[in-house]
Amino acid sequence: MEKDFKGLADQYKTALLDDVLPFWERHAIDWEQGGYFTCLDRAGKVYDTDKFIWLQNRQVWLFSMLCNQFEKRENWLNIAANGANFLAKHGRDADGNWYFALDRAGNPLVQPYNIFSDCFAAMAFSKYALASGEDWAKDVALQAYNNVLRRKDNPKGHYNKTYPGTRPLKSLAVPMILANLSLEMEWLLPSDQLEDILSATVQEVMGAFLDRDRGLMYENVAPDGSHVDCFEGRLINPGHGIEAMWFIMDIANRHNDTATIHQAVDVVLNILNFAWDAEYGGLYYFMDAEGHPPHQLEWDQKLWWVHLESLVALAMGYRLTGREACWEWYQKLHDYAWSHFADPEYGEWFGYLDRRGEVLLNLKGGKWKGCFHVPRALYLCWQQFEALEQKSC
Q: How many residues does the chain have?
A: 393
Residues 250, 204, 229: CA angle, nearest 5 degrees: 125
> Sign of the C-alpha dihedral, residues 374, 372, 235, 350?
negative
DSSP 25-70: HHHSB-TTTSSB--EEBTTS-EEE--EEHHHHHHHHHHHHHHHHHT
Toward a second copy, which CB reaches closer, 274 or 368? 368
Out of 73, 89, 254, 367, the residue judged to bind a second copy by CB under 8 A:
367
Nearest to 260 by CA among 197, 199, 325, 195: 199
Does 89 sit near a second copy (CB under 8 A)? no
Out of 70, 231, 327, 338, the residue judged to bind a second copy by CB under 8 A:
231
Toward a second copy, which CB reaches closer, 47 or 187? 47
d(CA 348, CA 47): 17
Does 25 sit near a second copy (CB under 8 A)? no
Any residues with CB less than 8 A from the CB of 237 and at least 6 apart, and which? 219, 285, 286
Smallest gap, in angstroms, from Cβ of residue 129 to a second copy?
A: 28
- Site map (CB under 8 A) of a second copy, residues 101-140, x = contact: --x---xxxxx-x---------------------------
Toward a second copy, which CB reaches closer, 334 or 364? 364
Binding part of the chain for a second copy, among 20-28, 62-70, 194-202, 223-231 by CB under 8 A, reads: 223-231
Smallest gap, in angstroms, from Cβ of residue 140 to a second copy?
A: 20
Does 343 sit near a second copy (CB under 8 A)? no
Toward a second copy, which CB reaches closer, 266 or 300? 300
Toward a second copy, which CB reaches closer, 175 or 238? 238
Does 166 sit near a second copy (CB under 8 A)? yes
Type of residue at 360: L
Out of 188, 189, 325, 361, the residue judged to bind a second copy by CB under 8 A:
361
Does 154 sit near a second copy (CB under 8 A)? no
Does 392 sit near a second copy (CB under 8 A)? no
d(CA 19, CA 34): 23
What number of chain residues touch a second copy (CB under 8 A)?
44
Residue 281 phi/psi, 5-degree rounding, is 80, 165
Toward a second copy, which CB reaches closer, 38 or 310? 38
Burial of 133 (0-12, 13-18, 19+ CB in 10 A): exposed
Helix (H, G, I), strand (E, B), or coil: what is residue 346?
Answer: coil
Type of residue at 310: S
DSSP 106-152: S-EEE---SSHHHHHHHHHHHHHHHHH--HHHHHHHHHHHHHHHHHT
Cβ-contact 389, 68 below 8 angstroms: no
Does 277 sit near a second copy (CB under 8 A)? no
Q: Applying CB under 8 A, which residues contact a second copy?
A: 39, 41, 47-48, 50, 99-100, 103, 107-111, 113, 158-159, 161-163, 166-167, 229-231, 290, 292-295, 297-301, 352, 354-355, 360-363, 366-368
